Chain A
């Protein structure tokens, strides 16, 4: 009985692979392409997911968004997002939402577009009507001056805060704070300029003018609100806050539930799920190539078995048993696919590094599950596909194998 140590087996496999450098290299490349593709693509998907999460987080923390209108068929659909309702959300509704322990802050929001003009220059921009609290809710920072004053919501103070782009376009190099700005048919005093990091989904704060909510309502001749943002005291207070908002507004609206309350977490979870599914799908498609690489390994191992028949015969004649021959070929495949996977992992990580370098906004890090899964799949396919050739080798009759040549 011949004895083979596992070290000997690995060494043997290594020499076998070295014997045919060209084909070994090609198989390594095939495996590496598959693993690298999975790593790069999932890192892209993960990057997109993190980007969206960060965008949502920048909206605020523990946020509830109250939207007028509710549809019975589908929870939230495009029509609720821009719909109008006969019973509007009013400033009184908004004010009533602060009367709870679970609510920390509240900011009413109206949106519209208007022409702004100062010193002969004009520009069509988004006008955001809101209150003092918005700054804290959205974690915005001021570049100059101050945000809207914390006066009563009903007070239409003629002051405004402008975004950096509006400032550049209209005031250029001159001082903006303290100047008059004509919005529509009214004049507003500029009291502040928004900081640079005010970019978030939907609204580009750079190109926005923020005025007190009552002033915006006068400007657009509306008494309704577009949204109400409510910040809960803590993460655990989100649920009671949502309940409170729904109950309060139902009571105020004669028992009719005609608003939709969405939580930031809810929306985030939805996006998270979608992007996660996309990442998995893309990674899965890329993983098909691992299967193809597996087929290649099987093919080459079959060739190797037939080429090395004499060698196998000799080993068997020297007393190697079935299992040892099987182990020899399997470890060759294992070595091959592991090397390929590691090579692919290195290339893939370099690829995602390049993506991060090229698009600094996109945090493209391959998720751990994708990395470990791709290596696992690579190794598993390598071993699985070489089972047939290895068994063929192990089943060879020593006499016939030796007499072949």
Chain B
């Protein structure tokens, strides 16, 4: 199970990097979103996937799921959600002012 999850995470990473290297704003932003999904899946896998009882410590509970990765992912999802929405607004404003959504044309001149 862990192996399949890791392969899935690596596919997400690969597509994310491919999208990040594109020139259009929107593709790049989709790339960052995919990257965060890959990272979150990765955290979940790293905490070892287990079938068993919820992490409530009680007598006789031996095989419980690790709660920490889930807490980490929740925090990280909220952060990446906020950053993605900020990026979308920023990209929209940059597009309106610079009249282009092509990164290649946004290199800038010397000594501004």
B partners with A: no
**Chain B interface (Cβ < 8 Å from any Cβ of A):** none
